[in-house]
Amino acid sequence: MTSNDVIFEVFKVLENRRDNPIDSYTSNIMKDSDKKAEDKILEKIGEECAEVLIASKNDENLVYESVDLIFHTLLLLVYKGVSFNEILNEFERRRK
pLDDT one-digit tens code per residue, 15-51: 999 999 999 999 999 986 667 999 999 999 999 999 9
The rounded mean pLDDT for the chain is 94
Hey, how many other C-beta atoms are within 10 angstroms of the C-beta on 52?
20
Q: What is the mean pLDDT of residues 60-83?
A: 97
Q: What mean pLDDT is predicted for residues 57-70?
A: 97
Q: What is the pTM of this model?
A: 0.92
Tell me what pLDDT residue 33 has. Answer: 67
CATH code assigned at 40: 1.10.287.1080
pLDDT at 1 over 80: no
Specify the DSSP class assigned to residue 4: G
Q: Report the distance separating Cα 32 and Cα 39, nearest Å.
A: 10
**Whole-number Å distance between alpha carbons of 55 and 9:** 26
Structural domain boundaries enclosing 20: 3-95
Domains held by the chain: number: 1
- Compute CA 95 distance to the chain's CA centroid, rounded to the nearest angstrom: 22
